[in-house]
Amino acid sequence: MINAQIVGATGYGGLGMTELLLRHPHIEITSLLATQDVGKRIGDVYPHLRGFCELAIGEANADTVGRDADIVVFATPDGVGQSYARGLLERGLKVIDYSGDFRFGSPEQYDEYARRHPSIGGRAHSSPELLAESVYGIPELNRERLQGARLVGNPGCFAVAMVLGLAPAAARGLIEPDGLIVDGKTGISGAGKKPGPTYHFPAANESVSPYRIGTHQHDVETGMAIGALMEAPVELAFVPHLVPVTRGIICTIYARLREELPAEAVRAAYEGFYAEEPFVRVLPPGVSPGLASVRGSNFCDLSVTVLPAQRRLIVASSIDNLLKGQAGVALQNMNLMLGFPETTGLERVPMYP
Amino acid sequence: MINAQIVGATGYGGLGMTELLLRHPHIEITSLLATQDVGKRIGDVYPHLRGFCELAIGEANADTVGRDADIVVFATPDGVGQSYARGLLERGLKVIDYSGDFRFGSPEQYDEYARRHPSIGGRAHSSPELLAESVYGIPELNRERLQGARLVGNPGCFAVAMVLGLAPAAARGLIEPDGLIVDGKTGISGAGKKPGPTYHFPAANESVSPYRIGTHQHDVETGMAIGALMEAPVELAFVPHLVPVTRGIICTIYARLREELPAEAVRAAYEGFYAEEPFVRVLPPGVSPGLASVRGSNFCDLSVTVLPAQRRLIVASSIDNLLKGQAGVALQNMNLMLGFPETTGLERVPMYP
Amino acid sequence: MINAQIVGATGYGGLGMTELLLRHPHIEITSLLATQDVGKRIGDVYPHLRGFCELAIGEANADTVGRDADIVVFATPDGVGQSYARGLLERGLKVIDYSGDFRFGSPEQYDEYARRHPSIGGRAHSSPELLAESVYGIPELNRERLQGARLVGNPGCFAVAMVLGLAPAAARGLIEPDGLIVDGKTGISGAGKKPGPTYHFPAANESVSPYRIGTHQHDVETGMAIGALMEAPVELAFVPHLVPVTRGIICTIYARLREELPAEAVRAAYEGFYAEEPFVRVLPPGVSPGLASVRGSNFCDLSVTVLPAQRRLIVASSIDNLLKGQAGVALQNMNLMLGFPETTGLERVPMYP
Amino acid sequence: MINAQIVGATGYGGLGMTELLLRHPHIEITSLLATQDVGKRIGDVYPHLRGFCELAIGEANADTVGRDADIVVFATPDGVGQSYARGLLERGLKVIDYSGDFRFGSPEQYDEYARRHPSIGGRAHSSPELLAESVYGIPELNRERLQGARLVGNPGCFAVAMVLGLAPAAARGLIEPDGLIVDGKTGISGAGKKPGPTYHFPAANESVSPYRIGTHQHDVETGMAIGALMEAPVELAFVPHLVPVTRGIICTIYARLREELPAEAVRAAYEGFYAEEPFVRVLPPGVSPGLASVRGSNFCDLSVTVLPAQRRLIVASSIDNLLKGQAGVALQNMNLMLGFPETTGLERVPMYP
């Protein structure tokens, strides 16, 4: 049995990991740490967990982080994981971090992201020497490096949907690297557990609103991942929108094909690329990748449409933002890091309706 | 491995059972029958099931019902199960029925229900001789009779919430049998998969509306179950309301205590009554049984409040109408019928948020 | 032209009054005061008001309250209006207050309310001598006293729905004074504009949850109003529930008839009682008073059902909580206070769907 | 007083016109026609209208259409208006039609639309000689031709949002004519009143799903309107999405600027273009055009963003699909056709929250 510690256990990201690990046959949660609700049992913070977990929230600090753990999950804001990671690795622990701290392979790339991120404000990475070792946690692209890895940067929720939606076309050289458009729609849980005016029910309900138009930091991450596949810099405009659902992200992706290809050829490329993937489903023509079909699961559902006269490729990519976009992909990465079958604990049927 | 057949597989009730059995270690679905979408694969009817089940929908008729099955689940409207049950029992199969066909112990009780039910219109039961054997499928009340039973009438969704909310007070003789009020609120999935003007999104969204005020048939079923516990006829007024959520039922129950009791005493009676129950949680004071805390699970969450000066007991009872209110309690019953541990396949953490 | 000042202009209650007065032919807003967003234009706080109102928010204090106004609307929490009212009346202004400050006719009644209200905590009224003059602002009961009144206590949102649902039966002596049950459901806007964990979209959406079971202060107010009509103390249990809609309150009311009456007789009593009322609609049998039918209007829709064998009366009462439950009834009261036709500025067709 | 007849009065489009005309000082509804609910009073079909309108639904046929009317509003599917229009014009009536029947200036343009529209299937126009006279009903582009016009084709709901979002950039020559992308999101009321599996509450709620990817007929209409402004054919890819709100459309529009312009210059062009428009609001930087800010009003709110390095223009355009997208713009057009001030009956403050 592997011992796991979750830091940031009272947010939605930590909660998602707790829910998953409660059912994992090989990983046990040994401690839940946070900076809020310290001393409360998790079932008092989240009543739906009553009867499942008797752990109390411990305070996250230098003494507690890493204690009695084989692996530490940082479900924390940017900057926290990078302040602990080196020490934990030196003690022989493994680390996975939900923030942008370890998604980038070089300080230069991290800096580009940090300049864009509103809460980082361009601050330099505190352990830049770890970036070369850390692995970007998208198993469909980096499976081999993730196997046995010590340090993983879990991807951003929007980035998962974007990267999986673009990767086959990028890797097979089907699309032009510039003029990429991604129109994203996210459920409100993507903003986390903390209340705010924008997420107040009467404000968010019955509305749809774009935010951070063209300035969201997830496009940096996506641009680098796709640029690496294309071996060229990509030009990407990304507009996220808040939609009044609790869970789910759908990204509608617009790209220009290099040459006029029939829809069947492009769809076949997608099907081939993901043929062995347990959590990506390329939908047949006429089936729409609605959020409802992936809710509660680790799937990414993709539809592939081509407008031949425009050489226009349109991919719609849906995930549950709290699972494939966060805790689910994290567990998929952890299974790879720890040598367990990749799908362990993740074979969940989506919940419909 | 037990072979199960689901009749009515394309409705939400059949779907719920399919989703549960796909993960059950001892029961296998051998056929899915329906009267619609015959010939389609279930993953084409419900895209979220792609990759989980390759079965095609067969036509439900005299030839197909019961074929290659040890147990048949009728997720069908009133009247269907009763037309097949005798033949299936004679062939040695077990039967569980979602409708009111087998919830009642005598033709007289069934007739009272049938008079109330709008789609039955008072028609007599076609196999009244089976009613004495059939068991009403609320495990918390009828566990012993359910163990090994051949024929079970799965309870109504509202009735589950009402009966579990009233049973401890009724069984312990704490409340008066008349003046019971139940104010129910149900998500729209309770109306099933078939579209209609009332369930059209623009009509149901941003509204709450009572319906069938004082005339809903689930109060007959509840009245009988509670009356049996009290050994007296009960007087019950029930008003269901549609609320704009997909899943969930909450019943707020108002009863008069026989004598002035402190809240602690009443709550202790509830805790004692359900102390060994795996799927009923009596919440501590101050925790509200919101629908969100049971969503996606087989739990019934109960809060118990007393207004001493009024001798007023107020119980709020929440379930996921598609699980504890339908497919979940059905699987709980099936586990008992088949001799499996009662919680098999049902240890699901609620999905929050 | 009458000059009106709104204190508490940045909350939903002040906003509702602003929206109404912008279209009123005889009342003009001369100033908007608040303690937040001071200095901003109202269209910068609420973008939907761009182009309608150029006023900036002034700071509410002893200097500003009442300035250049004929009438002051306190859309403020309990305690604010009572600290200003005497001075304003002495200067010849009229005052309407949204809180409980002036809903009660005596210090004793106010004290009972104040003990119950969580944010007052039993503190005594600071201007108790004004209570005898102040008028409880339900026009259907107190129209004559409201005409020309100087000081009005606008009713609580739930109380409007309850009082209008019970008044005809109480006034005509049809029901018993004890055993009254009110099951209330409110949209989230009833909690105001301030974000909080309970009103965070992912927490409130897809849930229904009871709160303050049997302890909500609006039952004091309702009990007094109905008790006055019955000339007897009433026993009332009230349970409010949060439902995931933005606007609307529906109260489902359960009472015992003194004698067995046919539904037609009771409904006729309601129709007679409200025959001349511009904003109460008694619905015919079979029409459900859903929230959607009153949204955006000043109507209260009532359905009247009788279960004869139980002598049970069930009334469902729906309002838009921000209009008939707050700003709409306030304007109705203001029209009466100021001598304008009662419906001026309120003849709004509900917005459906 | 002008006499108006509404054909298709029981759908959401006819309903919207009824609600607006009930408050119009110069236009009176003399008859409501439909093919469903004939004989019922409109307040029995739509309970929110009780007390506002006593008209009963008449049957729409050759005898009734146009009777006692000065203007006929066809809130009907494609094909109905074109079968009546010539006769009505000959009798001296005016006609406005909600469908695509009169949006196009030539049979060739209509044919292109008709080929795309799923329910027309390429059928030829039955009165092609009227197309040269008919006016496309976007007042911001065609005000002069609409003044006094006899025959107007009301625009498609998505087209209103797209055309208003693109028109300034197109008219001023700021953008390239190809590579236009429009990502649209519509509330479910856009699908009309008729229930269907896609609009069933449990299916539509908590989901977002694209549909008719790249094949929706409103892009034909938009392409022609924008192409006329640019004097060049435009290449446009449009993907509509269903979002779980009742009312509202937001289109996020992506275009390539011809040259690198600062955001201020482009926004100034938009502000100049719409400086005199009563119903278009160009928002300042940082204000997001959420659906909630236009709900219940005739406004189109626009945000204008530029990513200079990409020469990328991003415009977000929000409307209430049932008002500015349908009945509201229709009344704006009717006011122009009839010589009334354009804003009569439309000065509605948006309903927020």
Token readout for D229 is 């402004």
Q: Do A205 and C244 touch (CB under 8 A)?
A: yes
- Which chain D residues are closer than 8 Å to A209 by Cβ? 250, 288-292
Q: Do C307 and B210 touch (CB under 8 A)?
A: no
A9-54 confidence digits (pLDDT tens):
999 999 999 999 999 999 999 999 999 999 999 999 999 999 999 9
Report the pLDDT value the prediction gives residue B283, as an integer from 0 to 100. Answer: 98
- Which chain A residues are closer than 8 Å to C187 by Cβ? 202
Instruction: Tell me how far apart the alpha carbons of residues C198 and B292 are, in angstroms, rounded to a whole number.
Output: 12
- Which chain C residues are closer than 8 Å to B209 by Cβ? 250, 288-292
Residue in A301, A322, A351 closest to B296 by CB? A351
C309-335 confidence digits (pLDDT tens):
999 999 999 999 999 999 999 999 999
Q: Do D205 and B12 touch (CB under 8 A)?
A: no
The residue type of A86 is R
Interface test with D, best of B188, B200, B249 (most D CBs within 10 A): B200
Residue in A22, A322, A353 closest to B12 by CB? A353
- The C-alpha of D183 sits at a distance from chain A's nearest C-alpha, in angstroms, of 7
D23-53 confidence digits (pLDDT tens):
999 999 999 999 999 999 999 999 999 999 9
Please tell me which residue of chain C has the smallest CA distance to B209.
Answer: C290
Number of other residues whose CB lies within 10 A of the CB of residue D113: 23
Helix, strand, coil in percent for chain B, rounding step 5 = 35, 20, 45
Please tell me which residue of chain D has the smallest CA distance to B248.
Answer: D202
Please tell me which residue of chain C has the smallest CA distance to B245.
Answer: C206
Please tell me which residue of chain D has the smallest CA distance to A183.
Answer: D183
Catalytic residue among D53, D157, D251, D300: D157
Phi-psi group of C214: left, alpha or beta (phi > 0 → left; psi -120 to 50 → alpha; rest → beta)? left
Q: Do D195 and B193 touch (CB under 8 A)?
A: no
**What's the whole-number mean pLDDT along residues A76-90?**
98
Report the pLDDT value the prediction gives residue C121, as an integer from 0 to 100. Answer: 87
Residue in A213, A243, A305 closest to D314 by CB? A213
Report the pLDDT value the prediction gives residue C217, as an integer from 0 to 100. Answer: 87
pLDDT beneath 50: ranges in chain D:
none
A157-171 and A139-146 helices, crossing angle to 10°: 90
- The C-alpha of C193 sits at a distance from chain A's nearest C-alpha, in angstroms, of 8
Please tell me which residue of chain A has the smallest CA distance to C322.
Answer: A202
Residue in A206, A239, A312 closest to D314 by CB? A239
B136-159 confidence digits (pLDDT tens):
999 999 999 999 999 999 999 999
Residue in A183, A237, A244 closest to D307 by CB? A237
C32-83 confidence digits (pLDDT tens):
999 999 999 999 999 999 999 999 999 999 999 999 999 999 999 999 999 9
- The C-alpha of A118 sits at a distance from chain B's nearest C-alpha, in angstroms, of 26
Instruction: Tell me how far apart the alpha carbons of residues D109 and D119 are, in angstroms, rounded to a whole number.
Output: 17
Q: Do D12 and B202 touch (CB under 8 A)?
A: yes
- The C-alpha of C294 sits at a distance from chain D's nearest C-alpha, in angstroms, of 6
Q: Do A181 and D254 touch (CB under 8 A)?
A: yes
Report the pLDDT value the prediction gives residue A218, as an integer from 0 to 100. Answer: 87
Residue in D195, D206, D245 closest to B195 by CB? D195
- Which chain A residues are closer than 8 Å to C189 by Cβ? 202
- For residue B308, how many C-alpha atoms fall within 13 Å in the half-sphere facing its CB? 7
**What's the whole-number mean pLDDT along residues C268-290?**
97
Report the pLDDT value the prediction gives residue B121, as an integer from 0 to 100. Answer: 87
Q: Do A283 and B247 touch (CB under 8 A)?
A: no
Report the pLDDT value the prediction gives residue D121, as an integer from 0 to 100. Answer: 87
B83-139 confidence digits (pLDDT tens):
999 999 999 999 999 999 999 999 999 999 999 998 898 899 999 999 999 999 999
| DSSP notation for D127-170 | -GGGTTT-EE--HHHHHHHHTT-SEEEPPPHHHHHHHHHHHHHH
Peptide bond into D197 cis (omega under 30): no
Instruction: Tell me how far apart the alpha carbons of residues D242 and D198 are, in angstroms, rounded to a whole number.
Output: 9
Chain A residues within 8 Å of chain D (Cβ atoms):
179, 181, 183, 185, 202-203, 205-211, 213-214, 235, 237, 239, 241, 243-248, 250, 252, 254, 256, 288-292, 295, 303, 305, 307, 310, 312, 314, 316, 353
Report the pLDDT value the prediction gives residue A6, as an integer from 0 to 100. Answer: 98
Which subunits sit against C, judged by 3+ Cβ pairs under 8 A? A, B, D
Q: Is the pLDDT of residue B56 over 90?
A: yes
B279-329 confidence digits (pLDDT tens):
999 999 999 999 999 999 999 999 999 999 999 999 999 999 999 999 999
Catalytic residue among A53, A157, A251, A300: A157
Give, for C88, the enclosing helix (H) or strand (E). Answer: helix C80-90
B218-230 and B157-171 helices, crossing angle to 10°: 20
Q: Do D196 and B193 touch (CB under 8 A)?
A: no
Q: Do A195 and C197 touch (CB under 8 A)?
A: yes
Q: Do C210 and B237 touch (CB under 8 A)?
A: no
Residue in D208, D214, D291 closest to A291 by CB? D208
| DSSP notation for A46-108 | SGGGTTT--PBEEEPSTTTTTTT-SEEEE-S-TTHHHHHHHHHHHTT-EEEESSGGGS-SSHH
Which subunits sit against A, judged by 3+ Cβ pairs under 8 A? B, C, D
Q: Are B109 and B217 in contact (CB under 8 A)?
A: no
Q: Are A66 and A4 in contact (CB under 8 A)?
A: no
Q: Is the pLDDT of residue B217 over 90?
A: no
**What's the whole-number mean pLDDT along residues C338-346?**
98
Q: Do D289 and A248 touch (CB under 8 A)?
A: no
Q: Do C206 and A244 touch (CB under 8 A)?
A: no
- The C-alpha of D210 sits at a distance from chain A's nearest C-alpha, in angstroms, of 6
| DSSP notation for C13-38 | HHHHHHHHHTT-SSEEEEEEEESSST
Q: Is the pLDDT of residue A121 over 90?
A: no
For residue B157, indicate whether it is catalytic. Answer: yes
Please tell me which residue of chain B has the smallest CA distance to D246.
Answer: B202
Confidence of residue B341 (pLDDT cuts 50, 70, 90): very high
Q: Do D301 and C47 touch (CB under 8 A)?
A: yes
Residue in A237, A256, A295 closest to D310 by CB? A237
Q: Which residues contact C115 (CB under 8 A, 6 or more apart)?
A: C122
Token readout for C155 is 């009713």
Report the pLDDT value the prediction gives residue A213, as an integer from 0 to 100. Answer: 96
Instruction: Tell me how far apart the alpha carbons of residues C98 and B67 are, in angstroms, rounded to a whole number.
Output: 68
Interface test with C, best of A37, A40, A201 (most C CBs within 10 A): A201
Interface test with B, best of D40, D193, D200 (most B CBs within 10 A): D200
The residue type of A9 is A
Q: Do A314 and D288 touch (CB under 8 A)?
A: no
